[in-house]
Amino acid sequence: MALTKKKEPRSKFYELLQAQIHNEFNASQQYIALAVWFDAEDLPQLAKHFYKQSVEERNHAMALVQYMLDRDHHVEIPGTGEVRNDFSSVTELIELALNQEKEVAADISAMAKAARAEEDYISEQFVQWFLKEQVEEISQMNTLLNVVKRANGNLFEVENHLYRESVGDGGTDSQMPPVAGGKL
C-alpha cells in the first residue's frame, strides 16, 4: 500500500507558496543560463556571481518546500519555465536579473498579503525573511547594473569590481529558514 498525503484544499497563501517554489526554481535555472553565458565570454567573476545566485535561488525554493512540509502541506515539485539564453550585451543580462528580482519581490509581497488576509500569522512571519532578502537582492543587482554601466564596455573593470567587493555573498544569513535536504 502506497503512502501518500491526502490533498487538502489550499488557502490562497498556500497556492501562492506553491507557485513561488516554481518561480524560485525557474530563477535558479535562469541564473545558470546567465552564468554559462558569462563563462562562454571568459568573464569568470560574473560567471561565479551568477552560479552562486543560482544556488541561492535553489535554496530559497527548498526553504519554501521545507516550510510546506513542516506545516503538513502536500508539496509538488514543479518543472521550470522557459529560460532565456541569448543576449547581445552584458547590460541586458543584468537588467534581466534585476527585473527577475523585482518580480520575485512582488510575488513575495503577495504571499505576505495573503497570509495576513487569512490571519495566518505563522506564515506571515515566515515570509518576512524573504521580504528582507528581496530588498538585498534588488539592491545588489542595482549596484551591479550601475557598475556595468559605469564601466562603459570595459568588462575587466566589472570583473575587478566583483573580485574586490562582496556583491551577493551567496546568502550567508543565519536567519534563513531551514532548507529541505540542507542548504547548498
Q: Which pLDDT does position 181 carry in this prediction?
A: 81
Q: For residue 83, what are the contacts with CB-CB under 8 A and spacing of at least 6?
A: 26, 29, 30, 32, 33
Question: What's the half-sphere exposure (Cβ side, CA atoms, 13 Å) at 11?
Answer: 17
- Measured between alpha carbons, how far is 168 from 53 in angstroms, rounded to an integer? 7
Amino acid at 35: A
Give the chain's end-to-end CA distance (angstroms, integer): 34
Closest CA to 97 of 149, 34, 160: 34
Place of cell 515566515: 126
pLDDT computed for residue 165 by the predictor: 86
Phi-psi region of 141 (alpha: psi -120 to 50; beta: other; left: phi over 0): alpha
Query: What pLDDT shows up at residue 8?
Result: 56
| DSSP letter, residue 181 | T
Q: What pLDDT score was predicted for residue 178?
A: 84
Q: How far apart are CA 74 and CA 72, in angstroms?
A: 7
Instruction: Give the side-chain half-sphere CA count within 13 A for 177.
Output: 24
Task: For the chain of 184 residues, list the mean pLDDT of each consecutive stretch of 10.
Answer: 60 96 97 98 97 97 97 94 94 97 97 97 96 96 97 95 75 76 83
Distance between CA atoms of 184 and 176, rounded to whole angstroms? 13
